[in-house]
């Protein structure tokens, strides 16, 4: 199977057109006619991941996050982005990312399912599906199967997503049931959560001021980290590849949560 053939399979399910306008999914480096045997699946394409791919003899790195979203004007060893691009190109690695298009198609509904949200709705509508005519977008909002305290909700998040620590903005004893969840960076999801009458937003990358502002508007926040919620991409994509491209050898990168609380 060539890279082009695999990309066609992926984009049939996760179309590039569903990505946000500011995003940069797709083939980042490599030859579209390259024959693939081994695919390394990761959340981020770091220098460590590129080295792991080289050592394993991977032909492609399939990632959630693009190598760059701001553009690269120069490719040289003088910059971190340049070093990553050069390392991948010199190793003849195809680097492909599926970011907000994957979020819209799979990450959002799966996160809602994992939290067992009742009657889930799209948290932030970004468009209309051309085939079904149904709305699509980021995150999900719905009700838990039963009311819980904010602290109990945080413990549920930790258990479901396998994270050891979360950061909470809000009254731990507050009783909540209507929940919004948006894996990744959730700062822009605070207002949609408030507008959909969620009592708590579960997301990542919530800063001090954003958390305080959310609380002042009646919204609690459970920050489980960017990696903490989005790492589900790796396991699910490995399973997808094993099912739809069984001729490929697939491996999840040894990447772990880079954010350590001590």
Report the pLDDT value the prediction gives residue 71, as an integer from 0 to 100.
78
pLDDT tens track, the chain, 262 positions: 999 999 999 999 999 999 999 999 999 999 999 999 999 999 999 999 999 999 999 999 999 999 998 878 889 999 999 999 999 999 999 999 999 999 999 999 999 999 999 999 999 999 999 888 999 999 999 999 999 999 999 999 999 999 999 999 999 999 999 999 999 999 999 999 999 999 999 999 999 999 999 999 999 999 999 999 999 999 999 999 999 999 999 999 998 888 777 7
How much is the pTM? 0.95
Report the pLDDT value the prediction gives residue 261, as an integer from 0 to 100.
76
First to last CA, the chain: 45
Report the pLDDT value the prediction gives residue 260, as an integer from 0 to 100.
77
Q: Choose among 33, 37, 82: nearest CA to 59.
A: 37
Rounded distance, CA 186 to CA 191, Å?
A: 10
Report the pLDDT value the prediction gives residue 248, as an integer from 0 to 100.
98
Question: Cα dihedral angle (54, 56, 62, 64), rounded to 10 degrees?
Answer: -90
Residue 149, burial from CB neighbour count under 10 angstroms (0-12, 13-18, 19+): middle
pLDDT digits (tens, 9 = 90+) for 206-256: 999 999 999 999 999 999 999 999 999 999 999 999 999 999 999 999 988
Report the pLDDT value the prediction gives residue 214, as an integer from 0 to 100.
98
Report the pLDDT value the prediction gives residue 100, as an integer from 0 to 100.
98
Contact assessment for residue 67 and residue 258, using Cβ atoms and an 8 Å cutoff: no
Contact assessment for residue 70 and residue 36, using Cβ atoms and an 8 Å cutoff: no
Q: Choose among 38, 12, 189, 10: nearest CA to 96.
A: 10
């Amino acid at each position: 199977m060539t890279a082009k053939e695999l990309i066609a399979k992926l984009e049939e399910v996760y179309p590039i057109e569903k990505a946000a306008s500011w995003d940069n999914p797709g083939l980042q480096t490599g030859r579209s006619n390259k024959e693939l045997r081994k695919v390394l699946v990761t959340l981020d394409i770091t220098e460590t991941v590129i080295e792991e791919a080289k050592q394993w003899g991977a032909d492609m790195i399939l990632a959630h996050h693009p190598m760059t979203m701001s553009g690269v004007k120069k490719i040289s060893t003088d910059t971190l982005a340049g070093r990553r691009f050069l390392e991948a190109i010199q190793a003849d690695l195809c680097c492909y990312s599926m970011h907000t298009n994957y979020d819209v198609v799979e990450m959002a509904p799966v996160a809602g399912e994992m939290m067992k949200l009742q009657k889930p709705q799209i948290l932030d509508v970004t468009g209309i599906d051309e085939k079904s005519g149904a709305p699509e977008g980021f995150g999900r909002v719905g009700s838990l199967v039963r009311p819980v305290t904010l602290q109990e909700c945080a413990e549920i998040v930790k258990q479901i997503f396998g994270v050891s620590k979360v950061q909470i903005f809000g009254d731990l004893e507050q009783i909540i049931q209507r929940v919004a969840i948006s894996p990744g960076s959730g700062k822009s999801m605070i207002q949609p959560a408030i507008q959909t009458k969620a009592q708590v937003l579960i997301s990542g990358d919530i800063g001090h001021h954003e958390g305080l502002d959310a609380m002042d508007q009646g919204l609690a926040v459970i920050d489980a980290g960017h990696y903490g919620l989005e790492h589900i991409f790796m396991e699910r994509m490995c399973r997808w590849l094993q099912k739809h491209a069984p001729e490929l050898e697939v491996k999840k990168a040894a990447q772990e949560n880079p954010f350590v609380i001590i």
